[in-house]
């Protein structure tokens, strides 16, 4: 709604029957909370409807959108065993329905106290390798806001040049799929030749991206799936940087 308009938010309980969830993989019949968001804005073009939940897809101008918002909503809802329905028509507006499973009421006394984990950095140096300029800028900003120092590279060859420069690096955080002859897995192999024990964290928008030569995610690799939240990024950076992280990116046993 670039020129303003009306946004309506509705909530209600909903009982989904087996006939309601038929054809929706992973959605079970039961009690849900339904949240509807309806606007009278310009709507979404039909060609874009199938792509709006894809990580980093955006129709906004350069610098005005990361394409992560709706993909994070979709990921959150699916991880919560819920469902998203999006209807839109150009010139008439958009309606998004979120179905989230109803939670049983639990008294505060029954909830165990969680130990708080310190997930902020201590100025450790993270080399971020990402070929998309906007995504790279976004990731660098997030990592720096968590208390780290960052270096960046556009591709594997640039990353190796940074490593060869002798710059101190505590963690290599690399995308798996990159243009050119060197993907993230290849980069990790070359990086470990130069710096044995270097901690490595992989990321990708697809969990079946080619990390090993068969195109499968191999056991023993530390991996952060896109899209991820700031909290997930913070936690995985700490996991990768802890003492055990030195063995995370070793080659799998034959």
Note the pTM of the prediction, 2 decimals: 0.53
pLDDT at 180: 82
Query: Quick check: helix, strand or coil at residue 137?
Result: helix
pLDDT tens profile 99-153 = 999 987 665 555 555 555 566 778 899 999 999 888 899 999 999 999 999 999 9
Structure-token pair, residue 152:
């960046």
Confidence of residue 217 (pLDDT cuts 50, 70, 90): very low
CATH of 7-101, one of 3.40.220.10, 3.30.565.10, 3.40.50.970, 3.40.50.300: 3.30.565.10
How far apart CA 61 and CA 241 sit, in angstroms, is 36
Q: Between vectors from CA 209 to CA 214 and to CA 179, what angle results, nearest 5°?
A: 105
- Domain extent listing, the chain: 7-101, 125-242
Confidence of residue 220 (pLDDT cuts 50, 70, 90): low
Identify the residue whose tokens are 């792509």.
51
pLDDT tens profile 97-106 = 999 999 876 6
pLDDT tens profile 171-202 = 999 998 888 889 888 999 999 999 998 999 99
Query: Quick check: helix, strand or coil at residue 119?
Result: coil
CATH number of 125-242: 3.40.50.2300
Identify the residue whose tokens are 């968001």.
37
């Amino acid at each position: 709604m670039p020129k303003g308009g009306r946004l309506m938010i509705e909530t209600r309980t909903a009982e989904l029957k087996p006939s309601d969830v038929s054809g929706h993989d992973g959605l079970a019949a039961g009690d849900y909370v339904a949240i509807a968001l309806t606007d009278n804005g310009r709507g979404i073009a039909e060609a874009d409807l199938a792509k709006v939940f894809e990580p980093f897809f955006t129709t906004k101008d350069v610098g005005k959108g990361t394409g992560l918002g709706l993909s994070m909503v979709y990921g959150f809802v699916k991880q919560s065993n819920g469902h998203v329905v999006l209807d839109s028509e150009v010139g008439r507006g958009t309606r998004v329905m979120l179905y989230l499973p109803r939670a049983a009421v639990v008294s505060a006394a029954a909830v165990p106290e969680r130990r708080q984990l310190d997930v902020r950095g201590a100025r450790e140096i993270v080399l971020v390798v990402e070929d998309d300029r906007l995504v790279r800028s976004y990731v660098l900003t997030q990592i720096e806001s968590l208390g780290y120092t960052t270096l960046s590279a556009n591709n594997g060859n640039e990353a190796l040049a940074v490593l060869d420069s002798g710059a101190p690096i505590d963690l290599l955080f690399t995308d798996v799929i990159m243009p050119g002859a060197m993907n993230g897995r290849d980069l990790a192999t070359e990086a470990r030749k130069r710096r044995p024990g270097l901690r490595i964290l992989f990321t990708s928008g697809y969990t079946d991206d080619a990390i090993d030569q068969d195109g499968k995610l191999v056991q023993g690799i530390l991996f952060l799936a896109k899209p991820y939240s700031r909290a997930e990024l913070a936690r995985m950076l700490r996991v990768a940087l802890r003492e055990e992280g030195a063995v995370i990116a070793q080659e799998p046993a034959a």
